[in-house]
Amino acid sequence: MPRHGRLLASIAAAGLLLAGCGSGPSQVGAAAIVGDNRIPVSDVQSWFGEVLAKEPGLREKWQQQGQLDDLGRKLASQLVLQELVAQAARDEGLTVTDQQVADLINQVGGPQRATEGGINTPEGLRDVVRTYLLETELGRKYVDRLAITFDYSRASTRGEAEEKAKRMAQGPAEAAALVQEDAKAGVLAVLDQKLRPSDNPKLAPLFGAQPGTVLAFEPETNSGQWLIARIKERRTDAPPTASSGGMGDQMLQSLGIGLLGITADRVGVRLSPRYGVWDRVNLVAVPSEGETAGFRLSAPAAAG
């Protein structure tokens, strides 16, 4: 694929990654609440109308294909991601200039090319591109500095993965016991596994989790092989590795999105039921709990 095509695909992915309440901002009329910030349903509806207005008959076509609900979830998710990125950027001191945004839009062929198909519209294009650039910069900041240590095991079904995740979340002793039992039974299970971002970019969710967090998901979509991992240590001062310099912007963006898991855990994301449920592993909206990418559990405070 030509370089311009890859850039455009990455920006589209930033928009298509599918980025409930109590105290704090009111849920009434909110598509989502991210920390103390409220995303109004009207923002989603306005973007929804702009997308459908790009092409005559698009509403009817998507309605016949049953894709209108999917579109709403994609738009709500992107607005959540934009808010998470904004908060992470403030925390990390990251900035993107208007000139950088304009330059990237020009690199992919200009506004018209960048808004063909998908959810990008002239009204929201700059925000989508800015989010993509900030995600990439977040990944770039940490790709050379991150190193994690975790215990892990495997499962062959979603139900088995959930049960193992719940057991691991009981604390380090129970997690270690499960790994040792599984290893004796011939399951691929390891204690104190070390990992850097360049080792396996598909494990990006692990890098966006604090120690004590348990994650269960399929590294390869629909592979039937689940990874269940409990993060034991997370360093952000590790020495650089030679291989990390070879990660392109698309992989850095993927890492950056994974790192937003820490921000999401810290501030909280509450999604309106009209857009489904929030997937805490992939940081997207999905139709139901059974369609999330997996499980993300926090260990009891007393556990190490």
Confidence of residue 107 (pLDDT cuts 50, 70, 90): very high
- For residue 18, pLDDT over 80 is answered with no
Query: Could you tell me the two tokens for 19?
Result: 């980025």
3-state secondary structure 37-103: EEEEHHHHHHHHHHHHHCCCCHHHHHHHCCCHHHHHHHHHHHHHHHHHHHHHHHHHCCCCCHHHHHH
50-65: pLDDT as tens digits: 998 887 777 888 788 8
Q: What is the pLDDT of residue 233?
A: 97
257-304: pLDDT as tens digits: 999 999 999 999 999 999 999 999 999 999 999 999 999 998 554 433
Q: What is the pLDDT of residue 58?
A: 78
d(CA 164, CA 178): 8
Q: What is the pLDDT of residue 16?
A: 44
Query: Could you tell me the two tokens for 65?
Result: 């294909």
d(CA 143, CA 141): 6
Q: What is the pLDDT of residue 223?
A: 81
- For residue 23, pLDDT over 50 is answered with no
Residue indicated by tokens 């993060």: 231
200-254: pLDDT as tens digits: 878 999 999 999 999 999 998 778 899 999 999 999 999 887 766 678 899 999 9
Average per-residue pLDDT in the chain?
88
Cβ atoms 120, 12 nearer than 8 A: yes
Q: What is the pLDDT of residue 221?
A: 74
Mean pLDDT, residues 5-17: 52
- Residue whose C-alpha is closest to residue 129's, from 73, 90, 71, 81: 81
Whole-Å CA distances, 47 to 75, 143, 227: 7, 33, 36
Query: Could you tell me the two tokens for 77?
Result: 């998710």
Confidence of residue 9 (pLDDT cuts 50, 70, 90): low
121-176: pLDDT as tens digits: 999 999 999 999 999 999 999 999 999 999 999 999 999 999 999 999 999 999 99
